[in-house]
């Protein structure tokens, strides 16, 4: 790494860089790509190793839920022979390794950022496990999934039941004997429940409010239709829910075995036990909300609504496609079940699949709302030189994914490049940045 000090700097003074990027995942690598193209000196700080979560927090049978053609990291589009297939875990890692090799970022791995503060003279001071730096610009590219959510009721469950979070799940064989309770039916929960079910494990699934969508409809992948409909280009400011869309749970579907729907009702027909949201554990009994029927109906309504929007698109353009259809439930719960004793049911393990929460406690700059989410417009905060990248719906649906992160990174890198010739001096307001927000 080059030395940014001058001849008069003492060893006690922190090293200064124009830009520090926090996070060495696809977001941090993407902005490094564009900063290098713009000739902007920078350093990427990564707590673990580059693209760590893809290597350490994915189960063995994990695969993408979006088709390979949507893998469009900057300068590194998918180049395989199966653009409409779905890369498996090892293939994803190989794709990312190729991206790392192309970008060759200036990076310090195994370097934890412990605090970021504004400096009185402008810019930021970044304290890390490897020393202190100062920078005119800081890009927070560490994502928004930091701390796994596990309810406090977990502390009261019997010690004989093993408990893990979705990031720690690897395969059915690694779990203790007995039935498995999967809590949560978002993308991870639904896919892990399927993985266990296909392996012949007895599965209990606590179903949440996650929506679902079809994998294929009217002769094509639903993602292909939605791309043609420009859904993935829709900015958050034009979405009907506006910023509220950032709170939405992702639709459950899978790319497994070439891609297919995930139909929880079919799983129930095959022996999976479905319950509503897990509410509590008391008096030796797991208690569930009486919302299973409504949750299944709502998920199916979303499924049919997305397909209906595709029907409309096809009709308006006179596209020749297979006929329309509507999902009809293949199983309906006879009634709501309020709970069961996990020991009597033979539960040997519980997998918590209810998501993650962000942890930006190290970022000591007042940019957060009441829910701890950073305030920004397309990643640009009101504090000059502070940016976010890689968050879900930062700008569009693809902002936190391989498909859309490139344009967000290019946008922020362009703003930084405009400022590097004239380092930011005012830590409170920047006329240029306000102009960029208004544009």
Q: Which tens digit of pLDDT belongs to each residue from 152-177?
A: 999 999 999 999 999 999 999 999 99
Q: Are strands 347-352 and 356-357 parallel, antiparallel or unpaired?
A: unpaired
Burial of residue 1 (number of CB atoms within 10 Å: 0-12, 13-18, 19+): exposed
Looking at residue 191, what is its pLDDT? Answer: 97
Tokens of 258: 């070439």
pLDDT at 237: 81
C-beta atoms surrounding 179 within 10 Å: 16
CATH code of 15-146+358-438, in short, is 3.50.50.60
Q: Name residues whose C-beta falls within 8 Å of residue 100's C-beta, 6 or more positions apart in sequence.
A: 29, 50, 51
d(CA 148, CA 167): 8
Cα 149 to Cα 183: distance, rounded to the nearest angstrom: 11
Query: Which tokens go with 268?
Result: 């129930």
pLDDT at 396: 83
Q: Along the 439 residues of the chain, how does pLDDT read in single tens digits?
A: 434 333 344 456 889 999 999 999 999 999 999 999 999 999 999 999 999 989 998 999 999 999 999 999 999 999 999 999 999 999 999 999 999 999 999 999 999 999 999 999 899 999 999 999 999 999 999 987 778 889 999 999 999 999 999 999 999 999 999 999 999 999 999 999 999 999 999 999 999 999 999 999 999 999 999 999 999 888 888 777 666 656 677 889 999 999 999 999 999 999 999 999 999 999 999 999 999 999 999 999 999 999 999 999 999 999 999 999 999 999 999 999 999 999 999 999 999 999 888 889 999 999 988 777 888 899 999 999 999 999 887 888 878 888 899 999 999 999 999 988 654 443 333 333 333 333 3
d(CA 67, CA 141): 24
Q: In the CATH scheme, what is the code of domain 148-355? A: 3.50.50.60
Domain ranges within the chain, ordered by starting residue: 15-146+358-438, 148-355
CA–CA dist 302, 313 (Å, integer): 17
Strands 124-128 and 131-140 turn out to be antiparallel
Which pLDDT value is given to residue 225?
Answer: 97
Q: Are 47 and 112 in contact (CB under 8 A)?
A: yes
| pLDDT the model gives residue 149 | 85
Q: Can you tell me whether residue 262 is helix, strand or coil? A: coil
pTM for the full model? 0.89
**Under 8 Å between Cβ of 47 and 111:** yes
Q: Which two tokens stand for residue 252?
A: 């459950």
Per residue in 345-358, pLDDT (tens digit) is 999 999 999 988 88
pLDDT for the residue 286: 97
pLDDT of amino acid 212: 96
Tokens of 344: 């009597």
In CATH terms, are 15-146+358-438 and 148-355 the same topology?
Answer: yes
User: Residue 35 has which token pair?
Assistant: 């900063």
């Amino acid at each position: 790494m080059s030395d940014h000090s001058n001849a008069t700097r003492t060893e006690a003074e922190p090293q200064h860089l124009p830009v520090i990027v926090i996070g060495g995942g696809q977001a941090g690598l993407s902005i490094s790509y564009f900063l290098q193209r713009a000739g902007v000196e920078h350093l990427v700080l990564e707590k673990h190793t580059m693209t760590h979560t893809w290597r350490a927090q994915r189960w063995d049978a994990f695969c993408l839920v979006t088709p390979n053609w949507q893998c469009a990291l900057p300068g590194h589009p998918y180049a395989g022979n199966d653009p409409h297939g779905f890369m498996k875990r090892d293939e994803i890692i190989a794709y990312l390794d190729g991206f790392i090799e192309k970008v060759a970022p200036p990076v310090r791995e195994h370097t934890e950022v412990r605090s970021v503060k504004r400096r009185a003279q402008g810019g930021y001071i970044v304290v890390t496990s490897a020393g202190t730096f100062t920078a005119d610009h800081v890009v927070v590219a560490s994502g928004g999934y930091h701390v796994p959510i596990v309810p406090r009721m977990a502390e009261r469950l019997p010690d004989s039941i093993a408990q893990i979070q979705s990031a720690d799940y690897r395969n059915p064989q690694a779990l203790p004997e007995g039935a498995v309770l999967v809590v949560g039916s978002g993308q991870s929960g639904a896919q892990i429940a399927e993985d266990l079910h296909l392996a012949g494990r007895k599965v209990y699934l606590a179903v949440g409010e996650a929506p679902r969508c079809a994998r294929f409809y009217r002769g094509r992948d639903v993602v292909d239709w939605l791309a043609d409909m420009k859904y993935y280009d829709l900015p958050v400011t034009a979405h009907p829910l506006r910023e509220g869309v950032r709170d939405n749970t992702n639709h459950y579907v899978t790319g497994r075995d070439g891609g297919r729907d995930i139909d929880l009702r079919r799983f129930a027909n095959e022996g999976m036990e479905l319950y509503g949201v897990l509410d509590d554990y008391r008096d030796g009994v797991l208690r569930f909300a009486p919302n299973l029927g409504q949750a299944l109906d709502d998920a199916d309504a979303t499924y049919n609504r997305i397909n209906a929007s595709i029907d409309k698109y096809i009709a308006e353009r006179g596209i020749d496609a297979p006929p329309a259809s509507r999902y009809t439930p293949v199983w309906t719960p006879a009634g709501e079940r309020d709970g069961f004793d996990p020991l009597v049911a033979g539960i040997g393990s519980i997998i918590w699949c209810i998501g993650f929460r962000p942890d930006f406690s190290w970022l000591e700059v007042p940019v957060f709302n009441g829910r701890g989410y950073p305030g920004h417009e397309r990643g640009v905060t009101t504090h000059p030189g502070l940016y976010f990248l890689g968050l879900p719906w930062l700008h569009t649906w693809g902002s936190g994914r391989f498909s859309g992160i490139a344009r967000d990174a290019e946008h922020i890198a362009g703003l930084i490049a405009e400022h590097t010739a004239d380092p930011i001096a005012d830590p409170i307001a920047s006329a240029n940045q306000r102009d960029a927000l208004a544009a």
